[in-house]
Structure 1
Amino acid sequence: MYIHVGEDVLVRAKDIVAIIDKESSSSSPYAEEFLRRYENDAVNLSKSGFKSVVITTEKVYFSPLSSSTLKRRSGKMTVAEF
């Protein structure tokens, strides 16, 4: 199954490691460090501010979609099912 994460980008659900909302990414020092480390390699899909961060096995995406929208699109009920 593929999930649309913004713009014209589709990501395989099984390749998604984490979906983090913007508030969580800015409140955790570990998340902030991770995002700083991959900031230059991340793909920014948002023309304005991003709402969530999608971490896959290959890339990091800054998505204009909220984490709850992405979860709903996945059709999965729990994180363990990814």
Structure 2
Amino acid sequence: MYIHLGGERIIRSAELVAIFDVSIEKSSKISKQFVSHACEHKNVEFIGEEEPKSIVITKSTVYYSPISSSTLKKRAKVFVANA
């Protein structure tokens, strides 16, 4: 199954690790370090030109998505329930 993250980006649901609201970067030192590390290793992708609303972590890439974390979680939950 697949999850649409916005724009033209779709990921396999098996690759999904976590979905966070983008505000977690400001409130969590650990998450800020994690994203900084991903940026250093060029494993970060911004989807579209809109303001990011969520951070989607997969096994290989960190995505900044313009779709809210609650919407993405609902999409992911549908796939988990059907698995």
So what's the TM-score if we normalise by structure 2?
A: 0.83
Structure 1 residue ranges, 4+ long, deviating more than 4 angstroms after superposition:
none
Counting aligned pairs with the same residue, the percent is 37
CA separation in 2, counterparts of 1:77 and 1:57? Answer: 17
Residue-pair matches, total: 79
- 1:58–1:26 distance in 2 versus 1, CA, 3 Å: same
Q: Give the secondary-structure state (helix, strand or coil) at the position aligned to 2:23.
A: helix
State the match for 1:9 in structure 2: 9
Q: Deviations over 1:23-59 (max 9, x none)?
A: 1232000000111111243010031321111110121
Runs of at least 5 residues in structure 2 that lack an aligned partner in the other structure: none
Relative distance call for 1:38 and 1:32 in structure 2 (3 A) is: same
Match runs of 1:1-82 below 5 Å: 1-39=1-39, 40-74=42-76, 75=78
* TM-score, with structure 1 as normaliser: 0.84
Runs of 5+ in structure 1 lacking a partner?
A: none
Confirm or deny: 8 A CA contact 2:44 2:63 kept in the other structure.
yes
